[in-house]
Amino acid sequence: MRDEATFKVKAGLAEMLKGGVIMDVIDQEQARIAEAAGACAVMALERVPSDIRRDGGVARMSDPEMIQSIQEAVTIPVMAKARIGHFAEAQVLEALEVDYIDESEVLTPADEANHIDKWPFKVPFVCGATNLGEALRRIGEGAAMIRSKGEAGTGDIVEAVRHLRTINGEIKRLGGLSDAEIATAAKDHAAPLELVRAVAESGRLPVVMFCAGGIATPADASLVMQLGAEGVFVGSGIFKSADPESRAAAIVEATTHYEVPERVLRASEGLGAAMDSIESRKLDESELLSNRGW
Amino acid sequence: MSGVPAPGAAGDQLTVGVLALQGDFEAHSAVLVRLGALVREVRVPDDLDGLDGIVIPGGESTTITLGIEREQLGDPLRAFHASGKPIFGTCAGLIMLDRDHLAIADIRAERNAFGRQVRSFEAEVDLGLDGGPIEAVFIRAPWIAEHGPGVEVLAEIEGHAVAARDGSVLVVAFHPELGDDDRVHALFLQSVRDARLAAT
């Protein structure tokens, strides 16, 4: 009678998050601030990406007690991160009944060859991607939502823009290909043929795509929404800024009214300093989080 | 965006708004366009001018509540309802219309009543529509915990009301916009058509 955890139900939650802002939070107080500012979900984690970058060491799934305390503090969906390939962390997060699992390159990968097989899980997964092939491989493994990776913890939007433009450009170029060319495209993208065919026909990914990694201002949110993101993740950008309450609400407002410059202007006023940022081109190749995952 | 007609310029075609502050408003727009309506996304009070009806979509009810406050859409939506124009709410939209939020429908919604996302489900729901039950998608769905005497319950799941009509307001706890079965939207559009005929 009741059919739980179907792909429609998993991908459907991402549909409900569209046009919204998902905020990284590290404790109950931040979670309440995010909810009161209009976040459509929170990502519970011990350290935001900019701190992970600074501290170094192995970044793992967060303390379950901390995730639970955030689940108790808010009524909006609570997401949490598992390491790439670490299906046991994902099983723990499922036992906690988080609403979405982010198999995330922000944490230190646990498997250098395999991502998590996401199909057996009842909890839906969101995964990062830098190009169309990577997005479709994740969907082929069962991801019900995609986020363009950007470069987490930098406050630099350039990688997010590159990844969004790449994915959407590659989707556009599939349009108008013949069947034979689609088969070749599937090989070139190293992606499942049936998913490539579906994208060629519909002109879009089969799941919702948000943008992540580098959003620090309302104008950043407007930029990526205009480039085709269906919503945004903000990690360090809010709680590493001078005035998190105002900045959180402002990014929510700019995400809703991304097409109206006057509204983005109004949202941008009086926010104080943005997060301390790092120019991602100055990072060493080995420091790039977006290179994790394949 | 699927056509932005000037207020009142629609001729015979119905012009239906979809509240577009956050949520799956594009999925609703696609169904309404498929059924022949002109659709306008609604983000500020002026967007309500000239609409024949409005849909409040699924999404996060807290986010949409804060958006309605920020845009000062509460009174204009209540006035829209008072003028007799139909309103259709799905999931978060059902919550927005209840006594504790916009107070447009005489119902009290229980949020996340079926549980967290791992308990989200698909099930057949019988609203008594031609063609039999519909395949309904429930995502962190609410149910109608209480309702006034004027409310007609259209469907239940496990004893809980999940679809109802209160005069010109139609509410469902699930997501008819996430499939290709357009019958619930057709039911709403029929009420929009009837209300427009009655007003002229």
- pLDDT tens digits for chain B (200 residues)? 444 544 444 468 999 999 999 999 999 999 999 999 999 999 999 999 999 999 999 999 999 999 999 999 999 999 999 999 999 999 999 999 999 999 999 999 999 999 999 999 999 999 999 999 999 999 999 999 999 999 999 999 999 999 999 999 999 999 999 988 999 999 999 999 999 999 98
What pLDDT, on the 0 to 100 scale, is given for residue A294?
82
pLDDT digits (tens, 9 = 90+) for A40-72: 999 999 999 989 988 989 999 999 999 999 999
Nearest CA in chain B to A121: B118
Closest partner residue to B178 (CB to CB) among A12, A75, A252 is A12
B65 φ/ψ sector (left φ>0, alpha ψ -120 to 50, else beta) = alpha
Beta strands, E only, chain A: 3-4, 21-25, 41-44, 78-83, 100-104, 125-129, 145-148, 208-211, 232-234
Question: Do A75 and B24 make contact, defined as CB atoms within 8 angstroms?
Answer: no
What pLDDT, on the 0 to 100 scale, is given for residue B12?
81
List C-alpha distances in Å: B118 to A99, A207, B121, B164. Answer: 7, 18, 8, 26
Catalytic residue among A8, A18, A81, A122: A81
Beta strand pairing call for B107-110 and B143-147: antiparallel
Question: Do B117 and A256 make contact, defined as CB atoms within 8 angstroms?
Answer: no
Phi then psi dihedrals of residue B124, to 5 deg: -80, 135
Q: How many residues does chain B have?
A: 200
- Using beta carbons and an 8 Å cutoff, which residues of B are at the interface with A? 20-27, 43, 58-60, 62-63, 66-67, 70, 91-92, 111-112, 116-124, 137-140, 175, 178
DSSP one-letter code for B6: P
A132-140 vs A179-189: helix crossing angle, rounded to 10: 90
What pLDDT, on the 0 to 100 scale, is given for residue B9?
46
ipTM summary value: 0.95
Question: Do A15 and B121 make contact, defined as CB atoms within 8 angstroms?
Answer: no
Q: H or E stretch including A289?
A: none
Mean pLDDT (10-residue bins), chain A, 294 residues: 92 98 97 98 93 91 97 98 98 98 97 97 98 98 98 95 98 95 98 98 97 97 98 95 97 98 98 91 89 88
What pLDDT, on the 0 to 100 scale, is given for residue B6?
46
From chain A, pick out residues whose CB is under 8 angstroms from the CB of B118.
4-5, 94, 97, 122-123
Phi then psi dihedrals of residue A163, to 5 deg: -70, -40
Beta strands, E only, A5-99: 21-25, 41-44, 78-83
What pLDDT, on the 0 to 100 scale, is given for residue A191?
98
Residue with tokens 């009070």: B45
Calpha distance B199→B193 (Å, rounded): 10
Structural domains for chain B: 15-199 (3.40.50.880)
Question: Do A1 and B175 make contact, defined as CB atoms within 8 angstroms?
Answer: no
Question: Do B122 and A8 make contact, defined as CB atoms within 8 angstroms?
Answer: yes
What pLDDT, on the 0 to 100 scale, is given for residue B11?
64
Chain A: nearest CA to B24, how far in angstroms?
5
